């Protein structure tokens, strides 16, 4: 059973979103990091770039493969987690904490309603 914190929203492509006012912090779920296995490289979007919900915006690489990460919401990138550049394994160890990916200013806060609740996401990954 992978960990699905109750205070987050989820995309069915396995990203989590933590909304605080008009800002959202985004990362990948415990289930996603488990499926991807040990990450060795992470490519994040540039600060200032504009993301559109559903579009690929980052790449994570395990020893074996490269996988796209999709923007769960639209908005401008405010900050990225630079520490992942040298320590990509942090995502495996702490996917909901130090392993966060980036923060965006939401351009369409209504999109949050399209995301899955923790219960819906838990049902998707733990059944």
Partner 1 sequence: MDEENTNLKRTALFDAHTALGARMVGFGGWEMPVLYSGIAPEHQAVRQAAGLFDISHMGEFQFDGPGALPFLNQLLTNDLSRLDPGQGQYSLLCQDNGGVIDDLYAYRLSQDGYLLIVNASRIEVDWMWIKAQRNTRHKALQLEMTNRSGALSAMALQGPSAAGIIAGEFPAAVELKKNRIAALDFGGATAWVSRTGYTGEDGFELVVPNEHAAALWDRLLSLGQALGLVPAGLGARDTLRTEAGYSLYGHELTSETTPIEAGLGWAVALDKPDFIGREMLAAQKQDGVSRRCIGFRMTGKSAPPRERYTIFAADGTGREIGEVTSGTQSPSLGCGIGLGYIETAHAKPDTGIEIEIRNRRFPAQVVRRPIYRKPD
Binding site for partner 1 (CB under 8 A): 37-38, 40-41, 43, 59, 61-66
- Residue 21, CB half-sphere, CA atoms under 13 Å: how many? 3
CA pair distance 29, 8, nearest whole angstrom: 10
Minimum CB separation of residue 61 from partner 1 in Å reads: 5
- Return the number of the residue (47 or 66) whose C-beta is nearest partner 1: 66
Alpha helices, DSSP H, located in 27-100: 30-36, 83-86, 90-93
- Return the number of the residue (66 or 117) whose C-beta is nearest partner 1: 66
Minimum CB separation of residue 103 from partner 1 in Å reads: 23
Of the candidates 47, 91, 98, the one whose C-alpha atom is nearest the C-alpha of residue 69 is 91
Minimum CB separation of residue 81 from partner 1 in Å reads: 17
């Amino acid at each position: 059973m992978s960990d699905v914190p109750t205070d987050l929203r989820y995309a069915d492509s396995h990203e989590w979103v933590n909304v605080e006012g008009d800002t959202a912090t985004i990362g990948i779920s415990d289930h996603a990091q488990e499926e991807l296995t040990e990450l060795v490289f992470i490519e994040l979007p540039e600060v200032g770039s504009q993301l559109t919900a559903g579009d690929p915006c980052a790449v994570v690489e395990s020893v074996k493969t490269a996988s796209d990460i999709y923007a769960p919401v639209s908005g401008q990138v405010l900050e990225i987690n630079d520490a992942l550049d040298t320590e990509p394994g942090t995502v495996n160890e702490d996917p909901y904490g130090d392993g966060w990916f980036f923060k965006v200013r939401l351009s369409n806060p209504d999109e949050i309603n399209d995301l899955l609740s923790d219960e819906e996401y838990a049902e998707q990954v733990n059944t």
